[in-house]
Structures are given as structure tokens and as C-alpha cells.
A and B are shown apart, each in its own frame.
Chain A
């Protein structure tokens, strides 16, 4: 097996492209990222590792905008992300120039996925080591969209998804608790999913909300703390209700 993981363009006998799978490993080591699509809002959340004291935290932006109506969060190698994001931004503007229309979320996702695939089928290059979550609003239908791409170059649309560290547990949580939400409820769902795997607190989470009217908005730490407090209160109330109900049944029997 060791002989089949050197060159990216070589299949192994059982049909694997090892370099792509190793890239997925790199993604699994990256920051947790979650995306939730509501009926009129899309929310992206990213785990923020504790910033060193001397670092200017404003220069480390994990959620970036590709155009006024499209945003992207990623998990994996941040340097690769920079390159991919620059290319995607150029493509958004190029599309505006050649067809006089903004890109659809599906188009730019297809472009990014195509780019990631190209690097899995050429000599002398390695795949991009990141999975992206792309959110936005289609300029024509005004419907929100959430897409995910991965290092192999596949992409698909999701109602809610997570990548990066502990993405499996986040995804399980989302599968159990997803329902059609809008506005604040969508934000709370995203934060609750992230809190499953991240220490609670405004300074460990970065959240960005996008609506059709207002575009992308990064939430302040204080706002995030408010939401976290609300969520904790709800959780406590739910537990109390469960305990109270359990106690009454045990008392009656």
C-alpha cells in the first residue's frame, strides 16, 4: 500500500486515491465548522481557537465573503484556503463581467469543487487540504442555499452540515434536532451544534449570519454570549422539566 500513496494520480489496487484520503484526514484535524440553512437566513459558525495574547485577532478571519451575497467557511489547511478563496473571488467577478449577473451559489460551488478536483488529477501537485461550507442567496430566486465541497472535488447541497474536528458528533446532533427555522432560531441551532464540541463562551465561537436583505454580518462576542446564555437557560429549563416530570411519576407509583 505504501507504494500507492506517493503520487496523487495513481490509484491503489482497491480503488483508493490515498492522497485524497490523507487530505480528508487533514480536514478532520482542522477547526470545527458548521452551517445551517433556515427559510430566510443562513448561518455559519466556526470554532475559534484561543488567540495568543500578542496576535491581532482581527486579521484571522475564518468566515470570509466571496461576493456580496456569498460567504464561505472552511476546515483544514488555512493557506490552501487563502488560494482557493482568491480564485473563487476572481471567478465571481469574472462571471459578473461576462454575463452581467451575480453568480448563483451552485455555480461558485461547482467552480470551487472543479478546482479541487483538478488538483487531484494532475502531476506534481497535491490536493487542497480543506472542505468548504458555502452559503448564500441565489440572485434570482432569493432562496438561501448551503453547499459543501471536499478535497476530492465532490459537492452537494445540505440543509445543515458540519466539517472539521468532531464533525460526526455535530452532524448527529443536527440530524436529531433539525427543523425548518428562520431568523434567530437558525442562529441558535448553529450555536447549539457548535457547543456540542466546543467550550462554551463567546470567545471560542465565531458566527456569521447572512440574510437576503442585509448580506453577511459577523456577530459580536457580546451577542454570541447572549445567545449562549439563552441556550443554557433553555437547556436548564428542559432538564428541570424532565426531572420534575420524572419525580412526579415516581412519587405516584
Chain B
């Protein structure tokens, strides 16, 4: 009789047996029919899995079993099944992964999991995703109702913004902080979705601080804007609405970058973002000189925003002006635009044609 090792049938699927059930096998000193062995194993197994059918043991011929004990699949097969199920339910977002995921790494670090963009399922009840995306974009198109500007000159960077938030024709707030302090030497401006801007600037602040701690040096404006742009690119098409300028002072001097939710990132000397930007650009480009003093630059920025708020309905409230110098940023002023209006265009006393005078006492 061929010597044959008895392999525990618990680890294999029920339909497979190493030999005919009637064959006599030997385990150590004991000789039994293989069928007896299977019976013993399965009866002990059954105490955990009562759904198994017993008919197989007593059938004269081997029949295909009705049940497959899925738990007897080994780890690899189970993982493959789970993955397949997971792949079918989710949208393929491999093209949107942030760059760090492209670097091959043996196992994901806690850092990667902290900064990996969250993945989410398709919105419920959404048959045509492309149409849904287009509609979502349209509803947000008018949302960049604001005026913000920033420019670099010899003494640093000036950043200015209005403070009105509007929802269509309704002015929801006149006192929104549109200049966000990322850290003591970097500022970001807000245009578009307020929540998006606030959250992602906060997040950028965290990343900048971690970079500082890990590398014992401040992150450059270039690096910070690149981090933000990469994040926004990975959310491209998902409805974020951000048009921001990152302004700061680092070792290379003053830096100014425009970053938006389409994933674009531009380096420049003068930017204005928002619905009032054409008006602001007119005044800014006209009055700009690289060798201005801080006061002149301050006044130019304030004027530019004022003129934008004068003509654009979605901009108004208070003009805030900040200056970023080698020692960090400093808020220069916050003036209400209506007061500025009367400062720039004081009321002219009009000559009166007839003057009413008290009649002299009789």
C-alpha cells in the first residue's frame, strides 16, 4: 500500500479529499478507513458550524456539495475576495492620489494615513456622475464674490481684502476675515467657498509646522504653496471652490503664489482674485511702482479694494490691509468702505439759492 500522509481536511474545501473515502489509511499505529477520519474531523468541526450537511458522509458516491464552507478559504483567497468586492463599489480614484502614494513603500506609515486625502463613495442616487459634476460646478460659479489682492514690492508683500460674504443677492455677513494667518510669516487669502478656504489653510498651517519641526527650518513660500496645490489637485473635480493667494517672506525674500481649486499654481508679483478683481486690477496696475514705501503701498492697496467694493455688489464691508516683512506679517489697517468713501470724496457744500433766515424780531 502506498504510504500517504494524512492531511488535515479542516484546512481544505469539503469537495476535495486526498484519497477515496473507502481506502484504509494509517495514522501512527492506527489503521482506519479514510471515511472514518473525515467523519471524526467533521463532527468536531460541526460544533462550530452547524449549517453543514451530514449527507456527504453517508452517500455511496462522491457528490458535489451544496455548501461551501467559506471560512475554510485560506487568508490569501479571503483577502482577494474582499478586495474585489471593495473595488467594485468604489469609483477609481487612482489618478487623484496624492504624490506620496506613488513612492513605493513596504507599508503605510502613520504619517501617510494622516495626510492621505479621504476617499469616499459616489453620492447616492447619482446615475450620471459627469452631469452631476457639471451642475455642481455651475451652482458654485458665482461663489467667488469677493475682492482680494496682493502684490510684492521692495519692502515686502502687501495683502488686502474686503469682508463681505454674499449668497446670491443676500449679504450674509459684512465682517468675514478673508485674510487667514497660516503662521507668523505667511498669509493666505480667501476667495470662493469660505469653509473650503478656512479648512485647507488650517491644514496647510499644520503641515508647515510639522515641516518646521521635522527639518528644523521654516518651509519656504514655494514649498507651502506647492503642498496646497498638490492637495487641491487631488480633489480636482470634486467641487472644492478655492482661489487663494499664499504670501510670505522666506529666505529667498518675499514670495507670492496664486493657487486655485482647479489645481493651478502661479508665481507672480501682483494678483487680485474675486468678482471685484477687474476693478481692483485697474487701480492697482495704474498705481504700482516697485520702489514704493510701505505707507504708499498700504494706501494703494486700500484704494484698490475700495474701488472694487464701490462697483462690485458682492464686495464690501471692511478693507483689511496686511504687510509681510522680514519679521513676519503685521496688520496695518481695517477701514469700513463707506467711511473711506467719504474720506476720498468728501461731501461738497452746495451753494444754496434761497436761504431761510429767522425773521428779525419785530
Contacts and interface: CB of A to CB of B under 8 A. Distances in A.
A99 B220 CA distance: 8
Contacts of A98: 99-100, 223, 226-227, 230
Interface residues of A, number: 18
30 contacts: A87-B103, A87-B104, A90-B103, A90-B104, A91-B103, A94-B99, A94-B100, A94-B102, A94-B103, A97-B99, A98-B99, A98-B100, A98-B223, A98-B226, A98-B227, A99-B211, A99-B219, A99-B220, A99-B223, A99-B226, A100-B220, A100-B222, A100-B226, A101-B220, A101-B223, A107-B215, A110-B214, A118-B107, A119-B106, A122-B106
A236 interface: no
Contacts of B103: 87, 90-91, 94
Given A97-B99, A99-B211, 7 more contacts: A87-B104, A90-B103, A99-B223, A100-B222, A104-B215, A118-B107, A125-B106
Contacts of B220: 99-101
Contacts of B217: 140
B251 interface: yes
B292 to A, nearest CB: 28
A90 B104 CA distance: 9
Interface in A97-129: 97-101, 104, 106-107, 110, 118-119, 122, 125
Contacts of A99: 211, 219-220, 222-223, 226-227
Contacts of B222: 99-101
Interface in B88-114: 99-100, 102-104, 106-107, 109
Contacts of B107: 118, 122
Interface of A: 87, 90-91, 94, 97-101, 104, 106-107, 110, 118-119, 122, 125, 140
Contacts of B214: 110
A128 to B, nearest CB: 11
A91 B226 CA distance: 16
Interface string B228-258: 0010000000000000000000010000000
Contacts of B215: 104, 106-107
Nearest to B98: A98
A104 B251 CA distance: 15
Interface of B: 99-100, 102-104, 106-107, 109, 211, 214-217, 219-220, 222-223, 226-227, 230, 251
A94 B112 CA distance: 15
Nearest to A99: B223
Nearest to A107: B215
B194 to A, nearest CB: 27
Contacts of A106: 215-216
A94 B214 CA distance: 17
B99 to A, nearest CB: 6
Contacts of B102: 94
A98 B223 CA distance: 7
Contacts of A87: 103-104
A140 B251 contact: yes
A190 B161 CA distance: 60
Among B100, B215, B227, the one with the most A-chain Cβ atoms within 10 Å of its Cβ is B215
Contact of A100 (B100, B104, B223): B223
A32 B99 CA distance: 38
A140 B251 CA distance: 9
A7 to B, nearest CB: 16
B251 to A, nearest CB: 7
Contacts of B251: 140
A125 to B, nearest CB: 7
Contacts of B109: 118
B210 to A, nearest CB: 13
A119 B105 CA distance: 11
A176 B107 CA distance: 43
Contacts of A119: 106
A119 B107 CA distance: 10
A118 B104 CA distance: 14
Contacts of A107: 215
A140 B223 CA distance: 14
A70 to B, nearest CB: 15
**4 closest Cβ contacts across the A-B interface?**
A99-B223, A100-B222, A100-B226, A94-B103
Contacts of B104: 87, 90
A127 to B, nearest CB: 12
Given A107-B215, A140-B217, A140-B251, A118 B223 contact: no
A101 B219 CA distance: 10
B221 to A, nearest CB: 10
B115 to A, nearest CB: 11
